[in-house]
Amino acid sequence: MTLLKIGQVAKQSDISVETVRYYEKRGLIPAPQRLDSGYRVYPQSILQRLHFIQRCKDLGFSLQEIGELLNLQTDPATSSALVKEQVENKIQLVKQKIGELQKIEHSLEQLSDLCCGDGPVSDCPIIDFLKQ
């Protein structure tokens, strides 16, 4: 079995060595074997787990949520309905955030419309509004 040092794992996963250590500390990846020299060494399979973690992060899952998804995989009795529920919860959260961001966008557009952009900042209606 080929073992990888932490630098190799980081490079092949396109993450930093510090991130690998952090994921270990958070329990997202198992503690690695150690050589007599103290160096961490990982099995090739760690690359798949790190890829899973990165994909989850790209989709907006928090590290806690990723940990929950990883834990769901370890129990063979777990129903895929639990995984789907996690994704559905994330969808609702994303929709809520989109709504909040749209409200902010609308407010900023209204604020921008207050000012023509000419004249000194002391006469800027945006600054006056923000001071209220």
- Are 28 and 42 spatial neighbours (Cβ–Cβ below 8 Å)? no
For residues 12 and 73, membership in a common domain is answered with yes
Is 12 within 8 Å of 51 (Cβ atoms)? no
CA dist 68 and 107 (Å) reads: 37
Same domain, 100 and 119: yes
Say yes or no: 74 and 90 in one domain.
no
| 7 and 62 both lie in a single domain | yes
Domain carrying residue 95:
80-132
What is the model's pLDDT at position 77?
A: 87
Looking at residue 91, its amino acid is I
Residues 54 and 14 in one domain: yes
pLDDT at residue 16 in the model: 97
Do both 66 and 27 map to the same domain?
yes
Residue 43, pLDDT above cutoff 80 = yes
Report the distance separating Cα 120 and Cα 118, nearest Å.
Answer: 7
Say if residue 34 is in the same domain as residue 93: no
Verify that 60 and 91 share a domain, yes or no.
Answer: no
Q: How confident is the model at residue 109, as a pLDDT?
A: 96
Q: Are residues 69 and 37 in the same domain?
A: yes
The DSSP output letter for 121 is G
pLDDT tens per residue, range 66-123: 999 999 988 888 899 999 999 999 999 999 999 999 999 999 999 999 998 888 998 8
Say how many domains are in the chain: 2
Which tens digits make up the pLDDT trace of 1-36? 789 999 999 999 999 999 999 999 999 999 999 999
Q: Is the predicted pLDDT of residue 54 greater than 90, yes or no?
A: yes
Q: Using an 8 Å Cβ cutoff, are 91 and 106 in contact? A: no
CATH of the domain at 14: 1.10.1660.10
